[in-house]
Amino acid sequence: MKLRDVPGPKAKAIIERDKKVVSPSYPRSGPFVMDHGKGAEIWDVDGYRYIDFVAGIAVNSTGHSHPKVVEAIQKQAEKFLHISSDYYNPVWVELAEKLAEIAPFSEPAMSFLGNSGTEAVEAAIKLARSYTKRKFFIGFISAFHGRTLGSLAFTASKAVYRRDFFPWMPGVIHVPYPNPYRPVLLSKPGEDYGETVVRYIEEQIFNKVVPADEVAGILVEPIQGEGGYVVPPDGFFPALRKLCDKYGILLIDDEVQAGMGRTGKWWAIEHWGVEPDIVCAAKGIASGVPLGATIARKSIMEKWATGAHGNTYGGNPIAAVASIATIELIGEKYMKNAAEMGEYAMGKLKEMAERHPNLGDVRGKGLMIGLEFVKDKESREYFPEFRNKVENYAFRLGVLAMGCGKSSLRIAPPLVITKDLMDEGLAILEEAITLAEKDFS
């Protein structure tokens, strides 16, 4: 495989223009300048082809510019682009009905629509406080829930996200997320590490930090995204649900990255047979059109007073029809493909880990797969420099991948990816790992 000299001249020119007029606050993973895409393949402005292992951070669930999604947008655009949420529109209602159908509750559901994941989290925070009349929340170390001041109070994956922005919303207490590859709490003999973390919340936090009856909700990612694509132990969510039920606390499930069929189920939390009380969705919900949804048990959301929360763009018709088409496509075939291709890729990657001493852990569900790179498998010492090399070499060889956590790489292609493209992408990724090994040998 030949390493490309990238970025090309057209990409360089656009990047230079970008630097002059776009906020430098945006973190950039690499000098890729998009021209067009189809399915799980993308091309930059210089004509270089890439296999997309990022999907816009798990956004392009149905691939790039799926014909059914494009057609739905075009048809709606000819009718009307916007009517404020002060009025009604039929596709808003249709989307809310579809979200209620797939909501992970054994009772009716209602939804609040916004524009992004962080807005979905903000709505969930306000709803939980309004419903419970309580003040405090539990969040988790290494979590990412957004950058607005409410969601930022929960985000704890990088200190830079919080630098200079205090005071953010008060009342959030952080506890360790149950990372089975890097446990930080002592378990009792025979105790599942997820159960250990929940026991820590009850014995330490509720006894020494904040009373349980003043906690409105526990906000948690079913699989941590920005934190490293970390999958919790199987005992975690059943124990967490039991804890919430015991103290009347709402379980708020942030499915912004893990949801919408990415893990082979509509919602990642369904892998553990647990029902949350509120779900936050965005990213893959509309195939790239900005949309966020806060989905809650009807018994909770129907208590919200008129005017308690709202926005101008709620139920935007372009976003709604894109989401309706997306949900239909995921349900028809792409959720099944995510489960099958994810299982296939996990097998290949675990075989790959046996050949490469710096690939310490392979974890995930469906097409939400994390690779953690370490200095050696015995010490499990973080090795971000190695991960960065792999990411860069993969880019120069023709795979777009993105880091997460301290030294992990995420594999999150569109749910439409084929076996041939997966094989091609994994072969390129292994070549990138081999090149990185040579640099550190």
Mean pLDDT confidence for 228-244: 98
Q: Grade residue 33 by pLDDT with cuts at 50, 70 and 90.
A: very high
Q: How far apart are CA 16 and CA 431, in angstroms?
A: 30
Mean pLDDT confidence for 194-203: 98
pLDDT the model gives residue 346: 98
Q: How far apart are CA 353 and CA 148, in angstroms?
A: 38
Mean pLDDT confidence for 243-256: 98
Q: What is the 3-state secondary structure (H, E, C) of 159-214?
A: HHHCCCCCCCCCCEEEECCCCCCCCCCCCCCCCCHHHHHHHHHHHHHHHHCCCHHH
pLDDT the model gives residue 163: 87
Contact 52, 40 (CB under 8 A): yes
Mean pLDDT confidence for 133-152: 96
DSSP state of 228: T
For residue 208 the two structure tokens come to: 């020494």
Q: State pLDDT tens for residues 297-321.
A: 999 999 999 999 999 999 999 999 9
Q: State pLDDT tens for residues 122-142.
A: 999 999 999 999 999 999 999
Q: Is 332 exposed, middle or buried (0-12, 13-18, 19+ CB in 10 A)?
A: exposed
Beta strand pairing call for 278-281 and 292-297: antiparallel
CB 309: neighbour CB atoms within 10 A? 16
- Angle formed at CA 435 by CA 394 and CA 29, multiple of 5 degrees: 30
- Report field, pTM of the whole predicted structure over 0.95: yes
Q: Could you give the C-alpha distances from 436 to 3, 351, 359, in angstroms and in order?
A: 13, 18, 11
Please name each of the domains of the chain with its CATH number. Answer: 9-65+333-440 (3.90.1150.10), 83-315 (3.40.640.10)
Average pLDDT, the chain: 97
Q: State pLDDT tens for residues 98-119.
A: 999 999 999 999 999 999 999 9
Q: State pLDDT tens for residues 329-342.
A: 999 999 999 999 99
On the question of pLDDT at 325 being above 90, the answer is: yes
pLDDT the model gives residue 10: 98
Three-state DSSP at 250 gives strand
DSSP state of 283: G
Contact 119, 316 (CB under 8 A): no
Mean pLDDT confidence for 423-431: 98
pLDDT the model gives residue 165: 84
Give the neighbor-by-neighbor strand order of the sheet with 278-281.
Answer: 109-114, 292-297, 278-281, 250-254, 215-220, 136-140, 172-175
Mean pLDDT confidence for 406-410: 98
Q: How far apart are CA 123 and CA 101, in angstroms?
A: 21
On the question of pLDDT at 1 being above 80, the answer is: no
For 185, what's the count of Cα atoms within 13 Å in the CB-facing half-sphere? 22
**Alpha-helical segments (H) within 330-383:** 335-355
